[in-house]
Every structure is written in C-alpha cells, then in structure tokens.
Amino acid sequence: MKRFLALAMALLLAGEARAQGNVPLVADLSSHLVAITTGFSGTDVLLFGATDGAGDIAVVVRGPSQNEVIRRKGRVGPVWINTDEVTFRDAPSYYRVASSRPLDEFAPQTLLSRYQIGIDNLRINTLADTTLEPEEVADFRKAFVRLKTDSNLYDQGLGAVNFMSNRLFRTELHFPSNVPTGTYLVEVYLFRDGDVTSAEIVPLNISQIGASADIFDFAHNLAPLYGLVSILLAASAGWVASIAFRRT
C-alpha cells in the first residue's frame, strides 16, 4: 500500500513539475506533522519525489539545534567525579542520512563537507571558553556522536533511497520514541557528475498533543507549581497506602 501511495504521489509531483517547466527535482512527505501522544512509540514518515532524469539522491534530516554538554569523569582521590566538560553549540538534536548509493561513490568530499552531508562532515562547534586541547575536544565529539547514535537520534546509512523507476524515488524516515519536538528540515539533494544540480527543503513539525502536551507545558512553564503538585500527590499516595495497610 505504501509503495502504491508513494508511486501515485511521485507521479503527481512529476506531472506538476512538467506543467511548471523543466524542474530537476521535486520532493514531499506523506505527512508534515508527527504528533506525539501518550502512547507514542516511534513512527516512519514516507519521503517521495521525482527527478527529470538519471542521478543520485541524498537525503539529510536535521532536528532543531541545541547546546549539548558532554562530561568526562576522572578519579580524584578515592572517588570519581566530573572533571572536564565540553559544550557543543547549536548541535542538531536529530540527524539522519539516506542515499541512493554510498555517498563516496557519487559525491566528492568537498561537497559533502560544504552541505554537511554525513556525520563526519557535521560542523559541531564548541563554546569559545573551552580550555581543552583540540585532540581532547575531538574525543568529546566522538563521545557526543556515540551517545546520540546509541539513542537512535543520529544515524547514517540505515535508510536507503530506492528508485522505483529512472525518475521516481522514495525512502522511509524513522523517528524513534525519544525524538525531540520542534521543526525539522528534510533536505533532498540531486547529484549528477559529482555536483549538486538541484536541492529541495521540506519542513516537518514534531509536536506533543493531548494530555502529554498539557503535562509537558505545565512542567516547563510552571516548574515550581509542578514540583509542589508532584510532592502533594506523592504524599497523598503514601498516606492512602498507609491507611490501607493499617486496616489490613
């Protein structure tokens, strides 16, 4: 069913592109909203599109940027404590790459670096006040990427872009249950003869809805009151449990 849907949508896009003139690349998503509810366990979003001829496709999904702090423990006397830390500035909270072939088979390294396609090409900068040596910062960067990968928030090469014909393509974009909320950018690049001949950016919004959204907003916007309510609820639960055990 999804394959048929992707084919129909891609054909529609291709028809619109021909009507508008010679457009090298058109792309879209099966949904522009991922709604996180209480029972959200992750989801897949279908990306589909069409080109005006042969070529290779690379897809990059970037989540909202945020500062990330990575700490390293060291032994001080008999105890282990955090001794060093690095703050990475404006790092993507989510990053995923899919392509029609391995990137190094159709894209030169200069272009991959320019468009930040591939985890190794991400420009993740540290705050200016760090006192660590570049080699140490590189180790922290590896740890940061490893933690993101282990959390299924960073991935490269897991998803493949499949051509259904010489011009129509599709791929599944996976978003795990712990995906951050916010506005995502889905970047689609068309490569020919070692160059980017066309690109398309499709927005995607991931947001919480329903009761989970209300609780999230309450906890973040009214944190002191949320903490007080939590304490009262915990105390009430303990009091009710003590009465129940007393009666038995």
User: What is the per-residue pLDDT across 141-160, written as a single tens digit (0 to 9) for each?
Assistant: 999 999 999 999 998 766 78
Q: Which amino acid is at 228?
A: L
Please give the order of strands across the beta sheet that includes 154-160.
33-36, 195-208, 182-192, 56-62, 95-99, 154-160
User: In this predicted model, what pLDDT tens digit does every residue of 81-103 receive, in sequence order?
Assistant: 667 788 889 999 999 999 999 99
| Across 194-209, average pLDDT | 93
Residue 208's alpha-carbon distances to 104, 180, 216, in angstroms, are 38, 10, 8
- Structure-token pair, residue 119: 């985890």
Quickly state the pLDDT bin for 18 (edges 50, 70, 90). very low
Q: Which amino acid is at 36?
A: I
Burial class (CB in 10 A: 0-12, 13-18, 19+), 176: middle
Domain ranges of the chain: 2-209, 210-248
The predicted model scores a pTM of 0.76
